[in-house]
Chains A and B, each alone.
Chain A
Amino acid sequence: MMAVEKTQQDGQCIETPTHHLADELLLDYAAGTLPEAVALFVTAHLTLCPECRARVKRLEALGGGLLETMEPTAAESGSFDALMARIEAGEPDICANDTRSASEETSETSETSEKTPPSLPRALQHYVGGDVEAINWQPIGLGVAIADLVIDRSGLRAFMLKVPGGRKVPKHTHCGNEYVMVLEGAFNDEFGHFGRGDIEIADGEVEHQPIAEPGTDCICLAVTDAPLRITGPFGWLFNRMSKL
């Protein structure tokens, strides 16, 4: 998996200096060990990226293979009888029924292609309460706005980010890691062009100056693990601005 070739479709995985980190994320996603904020990010990307969905599927196959090699732990006797008793008592199926593979999607493309698809994958709409127009933007200056989706105790944070079309984001580095995925519009920086579904990964060593493409606002999903050591909920971005 070196450079991933571009296709005419939106949502391709693009080649970035750190593109291989995506595989690390996908492994943890397949293993089910990602924190919510990151899992949300990955899920949103998977919706837009058939290539990564296929990779997750293969990693899940590894999970199945690993399951088979587990050293079996014997149950107490009567385990199967207890299970059958639960079944016969009509107990409902309580496991989440969302394991259906996403590659069953292929059949319905023709009917949905006529309508413009929503900008936000359903996983995101669940947090936002609707599509893009439902986002509760908090302006943070220079026309840039954000809307928090998930903040966890470890400081991981998932949020929507809006940069007006044509606007330059001040040159900055990151004190933690940051993943950004474009959902509407596009931006360019020293590392290339980022359109819908494209991910840019930045860490403390990356300095860049994203410029939103003229026209529509550039709306992104971002996840950061920057420690929340700056006062105020939006301090991290103010901190960036101050580096201008």
Chain B
Amino acid sequence: MDQCKPWAVIRFGEAVVMQVMNVLDAPKTVADGLHRPHPGNGDMPPYFAVERPRLGSNRGTAASGGRAGGSGKVREDTAVSLTPEIQAALLHDIATRGDRAAFARLFAYFGPRLRAFLIRGGSDPVQAEELTQDVFLSVWRRADSFDPNQASVATWIFTIARNRRIDVFRRGNRPALDPDDPALVPAPETAPDDWLEAAQQSRRLSAAMKELPEAQASLLRMAFYEDKAHSEIAEETGLPLGTVKSRLRLAIAKMRTGLGVV
């Protein structure tokens, strides 16, 4: 069985993934009030027309002093929650005017989560800190390449971190899709309201994840973040294989309910 490990991973909870896909394929629900277009911004692309909180030096964030070393310490406020729309707005402010306060808020929110993600994937705390900084250095430098039509901020950061982690810890190459490859078979027209979906989907997914009992959520994270076959997960948790699988199915079923998909 050991020789087949990668394929064992592949077999891991087939039904579970099918259900995840169903969740992700779920029809969009009506957008909530956050997406109401801002009046009088007719010439702006839809994303920027979203009414969003004013961000800036008067917002009372710990970083409002602006420059690092100015008014000083950024509080890592791990309890604060940022909606996907605010995240995108912060990134927009970073891209358009190098807004350090916005950057600090984004870092305060995602930094601790990214560290947790990296430690979960096997990094020690020192490496996790270094990689988190690497990723945020990229976030700062390429904030203007973020496209809210394509992904949520969380997803964008996740992909940067994922690739960084592979490049740092895995020997050998990391085959990557090249969007400019002439061999690439183009997609049919993209749905025009994808920009709504990215933020919405992100919020709905994380809300559903928060509702999960920890026993189930941790299995899902294990499956997603760690390079583990289902048999290894069973071994590590001391649960019978069948229980691992059924708990995962349960987890996904609850996510579906949480997302309002029945």
Known: A48-B183, A93-B138. A227 touches B3 (CB 8 A): yes
Interface 0/1 of B62-99, CB less than 8 Å to A: 01000111000110101000000000000000000000
Q: Are B226 and A33 in contact (CB under 8 A)?
A: yes
Interface 0/1 of A63-81, CB less than 8 Å to B: 1111111111111111111
Q: Are B133 and A82 in contact (CB under 8 A)?
A: yes
Interface 0/1 of B114-142, CB less than 8 Å to A: 11110110000100110011111110111
Binds B, one of A119-127, A139-147, A206-214, A233-241: A119-127
Known: A24-B17, A36-B174, A99-B163. A176 touches B3 (CB 8 A): yes
Binds B, one of A103-111, A163-171, A186-194: A103-111
CB distance from B70 to the nearest CB of A (A): 10
Q: Using a Cβ–Cβ cut-off of 8 Å, how many residues does chain A contribute to the interface with B?
A: 101
| Contact residue among A32, A61, A85 (Cβ-Cβ distance under 8 Å from B165) | A32
Q: Are A36 and B170 in contact (CB under 8 A)?
A: yes
Residues of A within 8 A of B9 (CB): 24, 28, 33
Residues of A within 8 A of B73 (CB): 77-78, 81
Q: Are B155 and A60 in contact (CB under 8 A)?
A: yes
Known: A66-B224, A72-B78. A105 touches B159 (CB 8 A): no
Residues of B within 8 A of A96 (CB): 163-164, 167, 174, 176
Residues of A within 8 A of B201 (CB): 58, 61, 65
Binds A, one of B27-35, B47-55, B144-152: B144-152
Residues of A within 8 A of B239 (CB): none
Q: Does A34 contact B (CB under 8 A)?
A: yes
Q: Are B175 and A40 in contact (CB under 8 A)?
A: yes
Q: Does B240 contact A (CB under 8 A)?
A: no
Q: Are A27 and B224 in contact (CB under 8 A)?
A: yes
Q: Are A84 and B68 in contact (CB under 8 A)?
A: yes
How many Å lie between the Cα of A62 and that of B177 in the bound state? 19
Q: Which chain A residue has the least Cβ–Cβ distance from B153?
A: A64
Q: Does A225 contact B (CB under 8 A)?
A: yes
Q: Are A65 and B202 in contact (CB under 8 A)?
A: yes
Known: A64-B154, A69-B209. A177 touches B182 (CB 8 A): no
Residues of A within 8 A of B110 (CB): 67
- Give chain B's interface secondary structure class: helix
Q: Does A9 contact B (CB under 8 A)?
A: yes
Residues of B within 8 A of A80 (CB): 63, 68, 74, 76, 104, 107-108, 111
CB distance from A77 to the nearest CB of B (A): 7
Q: Are A97 and B226 in contact (CB under 8 A)?
A: no
CB within 8 Å of B: which A1-55 residues: 1, 9-11, 20-21, 23-25, 27-28, 31-36, 38-40, 42-44, 46-50, 53-55
Q: Are B116 and A46 in contact (CB under 8 A)?
A: no
Interface 0/1 of B175-217, CB less than 8 Å to A: 1111111111111111000000010011001100110000001
Q: Does B235 contact A (CB under 8 A)?
A: no
| Contact residue among B24, B100, B137, B190 (Cβ-Cβ distance under 8 Å from A58) | B24
Q: Does A156 contact B (CB under 8 A)?
A: yes
Q: Does B18 contact A (CB under 8 A)?
A: yes
How many Å lie between the Cα of A74 and that of B129 in the bound state? 10
Q: Does B20 contact A (CB under 8 A)?
A: yes
